[in-house]
């Protein structure tokens, strides 16, 4: 009886060993099939073949563990590559589906480097979605996407720049300035930094213009100075500052601002010279006021400048 038990045990072990070898062989064939299909461009077919390989290997325990990990690594890479292709085609929703599938496999095989790479792709993809929404004037929704991008990469400069633009449209000066700071902190792209500064400068310049229309000159002065802090060679900002300063009889600052505007402007300086003339006139410097008004040879202030020269100041 004991001999019969031994014989049956040996036969069972032999059968099990044969079955394991057969399953391992099937797994290997599925893996090789995945390679072939991938080379042929049948990505989905390749993924199915690798999935079959991984499924067979899962039943083999430690014997199939190495091949299983290789198959799952291939699946992870294929999903990521499909995501990249969809991202390049600006099909962001499909890209996210593929990146999510890739991420699941990256976590399964504990591949931290791939997870980091995927986080970068997530950030770029959500930023792409944000840019599309921004172009469609859906500014609040674009902000949601930019912030989603930053969940995956808090230092992604393009998302921070997107927030600069979106917050300027939402008239949220506080968050706009915070976003500009983040672009400066995280970006190594000087061009992107310059664009962020210019966007902020234009926002505050628009705010200054509104304040001037409302004759709120103190606010206009603050907004002009804010604009200048982001772009120190914009003649329009110095012109607005000169306007606000003249309105408050702050002749000294009006003179400085008008002169700055004149120095930075390369074309039509007539309006800037008019404000300079007003500033000199207010300060009692008739000679310089006459010289400034003499440079107003065109534009809406031409007649006013001539009137000041001939009637009020009686310039030579």
Question: What are the domain boundaries of the chain?
Answer: 17-86, 111-186, 189-316
Q: For residue 27, what pLDDT is reported? A: 80
Q: For residue 233, what pLDDT is reported? A: 94
Q: Sorting pLDDT into bands at 50, 70 and 90, what band is 316?
A: confident
Cα–Cα distance for residue pair 254/242, rounded to 1 Å: 4
Cut 0.95: pTM above it: no
Tell me if residue 248 falls in helix, strand or coil. Answer: coil
pLDDT, mean of residues 282-293: 96
| Helical ranges in the chain per DSSP H | 2-40, 43-58, 65-88, 92-108, 112-135, 139-152, 157-169, 173-186, 190-213, 217-230, 235-247, 251-264, 270-282, 286-294, 302-307
Confidence check: pLDDT of 202 > 50: yes
Does the domain at 17-86 match CATH 1.20.58.80? Answer given as: yes
Tell me if residue 153 falls in helix, strand or coil. Answer: coil
CA distances from 127 to 92, 171, 203 (A): 10, 20, 22
Handedness of CA 103, 106, 110, 111 (dihedral sign): negative
Do the Cβ atoms of 209 and 236 come closer than 8 Å? no
Cα–Cα distance for residue pair 33/18, rounded to 1 Å: 22
- pLDDT (tens digit per residue) in 229-249: 999 999 999 999 999 999 999
- pLDDT (tens digit per residue) in 77-97: 999 999 999 999 999 999 999
Nearest Cα neighbor of 148 from 176, 172, 127, 133 is 127
- pLDDT (tens digit per residue) in 33-87: 999 998 999 999 999 999 999 988 888 887 778 899 999 999 999 999 999 999 9
Q: Sorting pLDDT into bands at 50, 70 and 90, what band is 23?
A: low
Identical fold for domains 17-86 and 111-186, yes or no, is: no
Cα–Cα distance for residue pair 134/155, rounded to 1 Å: 20
Q: What architecture (CATH level 2) is domain 111-186?
A: Alpha Horseshoe (1.25)
Q: For residue 62, what pLDDT is reported? A: 79
* Tokens representing residue 146 in the block: 């930019």
Residues in the chain: 316
Give the single-character DSSP code of 109: T
Do the Cβ atoms of 156 and 124 come closer than 8 Å? yes
Nearest Cα neighbor of 173 from 237, 230, 248, 257 is 230
Nearest Cα neighbor of 29 from 50, 12, 15 is 50
- pLDDT (tens digit per residue) in 132-185: 999 999 999 999 999 999 999 999 999 999 999 999 999 999 999 999 999 999
Cα–Cα distance for residue pair 306/222, rounded to 1 Å: 31
Q: How many CB atoms lie within 10 A of CB 146?
A: 29
* Mean of all residue pLDDT scores within the chain: 92
- pLDDT (tens digit per residue) in 238-282: 999 999 999 999 999 999 999 999 999 989 999 999 999 999 999
Q: Sorting pLDDT into bands at 50, 70 and 90, what band is 13?
A: very low
* Tokens representing residue 120 in the block: 């970068």
Neighbouring residues of 280: CB distance < 8 A, sequence distance ≥ 6:
251, 255, 286, 288, 289, 292
Q: What architecture (CATH level 2) is domain 189-316?
A: Alpha Horseshoe (1.25)
Residue whose pair of structure tokens reads 């390749």 in the numeric block:
46
């Amino acid at each position: 009886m004991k001999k019969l038990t031994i014989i049956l045990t040996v036969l069972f072990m032999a059968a099990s060993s044969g079955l394991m070898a057969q399953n391992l062989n099937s797994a290997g064939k599925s893996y090789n099939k995945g390679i072939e299909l991938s080379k042929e461009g049948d990505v989905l077919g390749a993924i199915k073949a690798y999935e079959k390989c991984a499924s067979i290997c899962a039943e083999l325990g430690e014997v199939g563990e190495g091949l299983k990990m290789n198959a799952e690594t291939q699946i992870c890479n294929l999903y990521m590559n499909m995501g990249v292709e969809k991202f390049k085609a600006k099909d962001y929703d499909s890209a996210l589906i593929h990146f999510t599938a890739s991420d699941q496999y990256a976590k399964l095989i504990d591949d931290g480097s791939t997870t980091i790479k995927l986080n970068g792709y997530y950030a770029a993809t959500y930023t792409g979605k944000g840019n599309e929404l921004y172009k469609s004037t859906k500014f609040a929704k674009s902000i949601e996407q930019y912030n989603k991008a930053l969940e995956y990469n808090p230092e992604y400069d393009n998302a921070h720049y997107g927030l600069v633009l979106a917050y300027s449209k939402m008239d949220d000066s506080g968050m706009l300035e915070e976003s500009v700071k983040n672009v400066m902190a995280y970006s190594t792209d000087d061009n992107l930094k310059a664009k962020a500064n210019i966007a902020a400068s234009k926002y505050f310049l628009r705010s200054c213009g509104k304040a001037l229309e409302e004759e709120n000159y103190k606010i206009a002065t603050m907004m002009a100075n804010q604009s200048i802090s982001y772009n120190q060679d914009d003649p329009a900002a110095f012109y607005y500052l000169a306007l606000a300063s003249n309105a408050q009889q702050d002749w000294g600052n009006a003179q400085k601002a008008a002169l700055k505007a004149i120095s930075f402007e390369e074309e039509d300086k007539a309006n800037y010279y008019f404000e300079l003339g007003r500033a000199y006139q207010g300060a009692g410097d008739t000679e310089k006021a006459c010289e400034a008004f003499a440079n107003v040879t065109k534009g809406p202030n031409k007649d006013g400048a001539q009137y000041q020269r001939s009637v009020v100041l009686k310039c030579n």
